């Protein structure tokens, strides 16, 4: 039986077990929206396409499923671009449907025409311009497969209006035939044995675990390996939650605002076992000072990530979870007792570093310290909440002072550093995980970039909580101007901003304010009672608090500064 392209699309989405889509309608998508009107799929209408794609991103990170979003032709599609780039940088599975003018008009500068395939080509895992409605079921099937397999990432499907309206009898078969696309999941046994031999010879080894551990669901295997051999574990920023922070072998996270022990451990180690991480510049610091005496083994499903930034001695291409399981099979073939005492001494030294210089700040009973707000959120949620962040100081304080227990608990724009990401991502995360408290830890500047999504949260009764660390500055910009531009705060001051409590009232949600440290806990506790609407919390924090420690740009990891 024939049906329209729009009907086939919705049928294929249901075949892919899609339960939520985030989209903004437009002229060329009206056929799809007419079909969605009767579909058993929740469609969430954001107030801006950027909010929609970030919400789909947050949903994907919190659930492990593929996020789905829609934008119409022209500006609707281009408004998705930042979110697509964000998902690409952080390896988030996403399928973005964009509207396009009819095929006969493509290339003719028609109304609301934009070459979204060309625009997004550098920031997608793959893209399709569908020119025949009969191809649509196969394309959707392939898109979900590509987005969610190998190294996950965004896939764009561009839909001309006549394809949406055309008729097809092609079924959504679910079969995949992509002979040129074969991600490698199993690690090569010889490379794994070579890795284990070098690891057994190491006296000061470190596991460096990234977001790939979370994506592949490898936490259990990682903990087993760490405990079996006595290996300290350092996380990348996006790896937070991939190893329980309360574990005795946990060191912390490294990089520009990572902790002292992690940065020192990576500087002094003689062997790094990197798992599912891409050695970002913010993690490594100055490359010629990064792990100068270490051999490095790297497990990653993306062969292009290996030796891209840092030279790797032992590459192992494969899925983190599967390779760690393979390693388990060979562990007993190596002599772990030989250097056991050295590794114990190494762990002891790292723990001493952590005791000597943990994350800390000067406490106050007069002014609210932003770190204190994060600590209180952690305490009052027992470390069980999902934490999304905006970008800037708020992001770093969230990483430093919330103690993450589980994978998929920390949602942040790590690669692209997208201001305005956190709030819509938190909405998506809450829709995907309604059983969890979900916070957006925000700066006032970043929150203002997508605050229109309050309407979305109110309309869909999303009980997300926004903790605004309000310092009336673009905080990280001000910090850099403080440290490196002689306190010349050029255009980083946000003196004009809304009254967030009145703003919340205007949108029909709850607004709370804390101006003294003694009010912080009560405000957070009050927010936890509200689950049927968003809560905006305005914490008036110390305006010139800085994030420390800090590895300045161009410095090595062990060249941290600690402020005044």
Catalytic residue status for 476: yes
Name residue, tokens 């700066």. 443
Do residues 424 and 448 lie in contact, with contact meaning Cβ atoms separated by under 8 Å? Answer: no
The token duo for 325 is: 């399981």
Do residues 440 and 466 lie in contact, with contact meaning Cβ atoms separated by under 8 Å? Answer: yes
Radius of gyration of the chain (CA): 24
Length of the chain: 564
Catalytic residue status for 359: no
Closest CA to 457 of 430, 431, 425, 427: 427
CB-CB neighbours of 239 under 10 Å: 28
Nearest-angstrom CA–CA distance, 86 and 101 = 26
SS3 track for 132-184: CHHHHHHHHHHHHHHHHCCCCCEEEEEEEHHHHHCEECCCCCCCCCCCCCCCC
Instruction: Tell me which of 327, 449, 451, 476 is the catalytic residue.
Output: 476
Nearest-angstrom CA–CA distance, 86 and 88 = 5
Catalytic residue status for 1: no
Catalytic residue status for 161: yes
Closest CA to 6 of 34, 25, 41, 37: 34
Contacts of 379 (CB under 8 A, 6+ apart): none
Instruction: Tell me which of 11, 14, 15, 112 is the catalytic residue.
Output: 112
Nearest-angstrom CA–CA distance, 149 and 181 = 10
> Phi and psi for 79 in degrees, rounded to 5?
-70, -15
Instruction: Tell me which of 1, 37, 111, 366 is the catalytic residue.
Output: 111
Instruction: Tell me which of 65, 125, 161, 369 is the catalytic residue.
Output: 161
Name residue, tokens 């959120």. 377
Q: What sign for the dihedral angle of Cα 151, 152, 153, 154?
A: positive
Instruction: Tell me which of 16, 22, 49, 421 is the catalytic residue.
Output: 49
Q: How far apart are the first and last CA of the chain?
A: 73
Catalytic residue status for 537: no
- Which positions are annotated as active-site residues? 49, 111-112, 161, 476
């Amino acid at each position: 039986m024939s049906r329209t392209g729009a009907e086939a699309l919705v049928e294929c989405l249901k075949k892919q077990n899609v339960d939520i889509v985030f989209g903004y309608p437009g002229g060329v998508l009206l056929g799809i929206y007419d079909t969605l009107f009767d579909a058993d799929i929740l469609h969430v209408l954001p107030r801006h396409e950027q909010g929609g794609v970030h919400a789909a991103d947050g949903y994907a990170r919190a659930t492990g499923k593929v996020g789905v979003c829609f934008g119409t032709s022209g500006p609707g599609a281009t408004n998705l671009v930042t979110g697509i780039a964000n998902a690409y940088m952080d390896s988030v599975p996403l399928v973005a449907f964009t509207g396009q003018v009819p095929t006969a008009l493509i290339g003719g500068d028609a109304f609301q025409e934009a070459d979204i395939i060309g625009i997004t080509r550098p920031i997608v895992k793959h893209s399709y311009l569908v020119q025949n409605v009969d191809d649509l079921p196969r394309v959707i099937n392939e898109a979900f497969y590509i987005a969610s397999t190998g190294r996950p990432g965004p896939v764009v499907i561009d839909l001309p209006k006549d394809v949406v309206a055309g008729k097809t009898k092609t079924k959504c078969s679910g079969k995949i035939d992509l002979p040129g696309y074969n991600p490698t999941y199993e690690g090569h046994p010889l490379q794994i044995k070579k890795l284990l031999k070098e690891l057994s010879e190491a006296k000061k080894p470190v596991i460096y675990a990234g977001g790939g551990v979370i994506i592949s669901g490898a936490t259990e295997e990682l903990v087993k390996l760490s405990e079996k051999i006595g290996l300290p574990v350092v996380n990348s920023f996006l790896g937070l939650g991939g190893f329980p922070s309360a574990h005795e072998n946990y060191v912390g996270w490294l990089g520009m605002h990572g902790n002292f022990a992690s940065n020192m451990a990576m500087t002094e180690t003689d062997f790094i076992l990197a798992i599912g991480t891409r050695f970002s510049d913010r993690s490594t610091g100055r490359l010629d000072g990064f792990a100068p005496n270490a051999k490095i083994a790297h497990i990653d499903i993306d062969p292009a990530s290996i030796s891209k930034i840092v030279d790797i001695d032992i590459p192992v291409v494969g899925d983190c979870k599967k390779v760690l399981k393979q390693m388990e099979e060979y562990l007993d073939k190596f002599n772990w007792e030989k250097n056991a005492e050295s590794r114990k001494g190494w762990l002891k030294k790292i723990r001493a570093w952590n005791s000597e210089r943990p994350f800390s700040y000067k406490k106050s009973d007069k002014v609210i310290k932003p770190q204190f707000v994060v600590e209180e959120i952690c305490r009052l949620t027992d470390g069980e909440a999902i934490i999304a962040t905006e970008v800037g100081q708020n992001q770093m304080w969230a990483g430093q002072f919330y103690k993450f227990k589980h994978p998929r608990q920390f949602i942040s724009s790590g690669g692209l550093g997208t201001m305005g990401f956190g709030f819509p991502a938190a909405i998506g995360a809450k829709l995907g995980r309604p059983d969890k408290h979900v916070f957006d830890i925000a700066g006032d500047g970043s929150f203002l970039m997508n605050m229109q999504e309050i309407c979305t949260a109110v309309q869909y009764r999303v009980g997300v909580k926004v903790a605004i660390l309000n310092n009336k500055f673009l905080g990280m910009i001000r910090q850099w101007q403080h440290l490196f531009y002689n306190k010349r705060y050029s255009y980083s001051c946000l003196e004009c901003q809304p009254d967030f409590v009145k703003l919340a009232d205007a949108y029909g949600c709850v607004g709370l304010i804390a101006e003294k440290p003694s009010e912080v806990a009560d405000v957070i506790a009050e927010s936890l009672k509200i689950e049927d609407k968003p809560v905006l919390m305005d914490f008036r924090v110390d305006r010139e608090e800085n994030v420390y420690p800090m590895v300045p740009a161009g410095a090595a990891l062990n060249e941290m500064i600690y402020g005044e």
